[in-house]
Structure 1
Amino acid sequence: MSVQWFPGHMNKARREIEKVMPQVDVVIEVLDARIPDASQNPMLTTLRGDVPVLRLLNKKDLADKKRLALWLDHWKDSDSIVAHPFSTQDKSDVTKINQWVRQMVPHRGTAEKPIRAMIAGIPNVGKSSLMNALLGKRVAKVGNEPAVTKAQQKLKVTNGFQVLDTPGILWPKIENPDASYRLAVTGAVRDTAIDYEEVALAGLVFFINDYNDELVKRYKLKTAPKDPDDTLNIIGSKRGALRSGGVIDVHKAAEVFLSDVRSGAIGPYVMETPDMVEQEWQKVEEVKAKKEAERQARLAAAVPQRQQEQNKAHRDKRSDEPKTE
């Protein structure tokens, strides 16, 4: 199982990005620092082709610095990728963007030949907040939910720097099921498209394995949690997610937990490492290869049956033909 969400306006946004990409000098891809890989859109990677990309690992204040450093090291030798921890709330970070893009596109940056940058990324990573911070005024609608921006906007930051804001887009099929749950846990998928309890349990499995102490501290647990279902019930009990008769409202408990995860109330975290993601993709490829082998086997098994049917049809046709003396 995996979480999927690709409403119609996202397909329209993809076509618009593809149309204007030839006019773009650099892509500013806003990522969620807590999921540096899952928040990358492989469709955007395909669409940008050779266009260099500045990856801003936004919400750095919510991210585990040690794990974030693993990703910066992972990308450091790339010729077309520059990555920096980032926060739209940090004015010094915002002012550095002009410098970063000029270093990446040194042949442009004048009034006659301004740098044309596209701001892109998946839903709810902070693209509109970045646009507003760059321009020093509210020009893009901001909301703490995915898919707030629905259309492109082209605006001038300085005489030598223009930005094009785009709607947040996911991709039609998220092949890595683990990544799809990380997207849902951090809020990139609209809540109406997810099963709260299922997503919360997936998040709890991660925190129990990787940030157990933070769970103990946040929810004042007596012992380290081990089972996600038990932990979700304890959270519900401690945070008043109860129905009449003192029964745990698991849905409400899941809402409480996911709210804490997304706001950073549990503490800074990063849900993936380069090595972990590589192992996950190996599993994805193994599953795809197995399915393809099974499909080929079914086709091969069907050949004799089809041949028999064809032979019978040929015999029937001959039997219907008039006999000649």
Structure 2
Amino acid sequence: MTIQWFPGHMAKARREITEKLRYVDMVFELVDARLPLSSRNPMMDDIVQQKPRLILLNKADLADPRETDKWKHYFEEKGHAALVINSHEGKGIKQIVPKCKEVLKEKRERQQAKGMKPQAIRAMVIGIPNVGKSTLMNRLVKKNIAKTGNKPGVTKGQQWLKAGNDLELLDTPGILWPKFENQAIGKKLALTGAIKDNLLHLDDLAIYGLEFFGTHYPKDIKNRYNFTDEEMELTPVDQLVLITKKRGFRDDYDRASAMFIQEVRAGMVGRYTLDRYNEMREDFND
């Protein structure tokens, strides 16, 4: 499967984010817990540079908790604060402000030593499409969106969102998107819904998903589609044909593929992590 989708405007997006960084104390980098590395912009470290960062592994309810724990420790070993959250249900959200205060402890202590009163922490949320950025922001501000005062960002058409007394978020509608040339990353993003379905062949994506689950989560795929031991030995292509028949779709493989993909995305097949920590060790270059 070849996914050819290289969106432009990277330079413009990078410039906008860089300009906005001056207004915030730290950055919330939102990633999909099912693919913590593949859902990161490869230019993120270069863009954010030394600005304090909190990496939020979102959609943890859909991910393999064993893998999520490994990735959380990975980011922490790289010197980043990290939290595992589920913004849809609000799990882990209450940990964000305390973690921010922990990250900015030295800076805030210096400010207090100079006689400055503690101010609300100002943060910017960055994340690729479909990682839950809007849901997280709505959770944090409790949908009570309001400008919070005379801040530099407001004059540039940006909006500060008040999230309680301790946190203010800089609303940034422009979202950076990874320019990926690695087809494996493209498949992972596609399976989780980060890429529009009309940009690829659904049967190819379904076959990729069946192969992945058959390798890493065979019990889940067996239970979900009532596969026998013999059927588990079939190729992913033959399994897709079998699912099509089992669901009464006759020869409509596209319909069966779409159904399978949606069930994977919804967590109906089981919790899964596409970025396998042990398998990606050799790719770590940062």
TM-score normalised by length of structure 1: 0.74
| 1:33 pairs with 2:36 | no
Alignment correspondent of 1:119:
125
Measure, in 2, the Cα distance between the counterparts of 1:23 and 1:208. 47
User: 1:152-301 residue pairs with structure 2 within 5 A?
Assistant: 153-166=159-172, 167-172=174-179, 174-223=180-229, 224-242=232-250, 248-279=251-282
How far apart are residue 225 of structure 1 and its match? 4.4
1:7 positional shift: 4.2
For structure 2, the 5+ residue unaligned runs are 146-156
Residue 77 of structure 1 is matched in structure 2 by 77
Q: Deviations over 1:77-107 (max 9, x none)?
A: 232x111211114445212211111111123
- Alignment match, 2:24: 24
1:279 to partner: Cα distance: 3.6
Q: What is the CA-CA distance between 1:4 and the residue it aligns to? A: 4.3
Cα distance, 1:192 vs. partner?
2.1
3-state SS in 1 of match to 2:242? helix
1:19 offset after TM fit, Å?
A: 1.8
SS at match of 1:60: coil
* Structure 1 position 72, deviation (Å): 1.9
Matches for 1:286-325 after TM superposition, within 5 Å: none
Alpha-carbon separation, structure 2, partners of 1:273 and 1:117 = 30
* Letter matched to residue 191 of structure 2: V
Which structure shows the bigger proportion of residues in helix conformation? 1
Check 1:165–1:227 CA distance in 2 against 1; reply closer, same or farther (3 A cut): farther
Contact 1:32 1:125 in 2 (8 A): yes
2:74 is paired with a residue whose SS is helix
Contact 2:160 2:170 in 1 (8 A): yes
Aligned length: 265
Q: Structure 1 pair 125/92, CA: closer, same or farther in 2 (3 Å)?
A: closer
Change (3 A) 1:70 1:184: same
Following TM superposition, by how much is the alpha carbon of 1:163 offset from its aligned partner in structure 2, in angstroms?
A: 0.8
Q: Choose 159-168 or 47-56, whichever is displaced more.
A: 159-168
Comparing 69-78 with 204-213, which one deviates more in the overlay?
69-78
Q: Residue deviations 1:62-85, cap 9 Å, x none?
A: 111111122122223232x11121
Seen in structure 2, the aligned counterparts of structure 1 residues 225 and 83 have a Cα distance that, compared at 3 Å, is: farther
SS in 2 for 1:124: coil
Deviation at 1:186, TM superposition (A): 0.6
The structure-2 alpha-carbon separation of the partners of 1:10 and 1:241, relative to structure 1 and needing over 3 Å to count, comes to farther
CA offset digits 1:33-87 (Å, max 9, x no partner): 11111111112222101112211111111111111122122223232x1112111
Larger Rg: 1
Matching residue's letter, 2:97: N
TM superposition score normalised by structure 2: 0.83
Q: Which residue of 2 aligns with 1:135?
A: 141
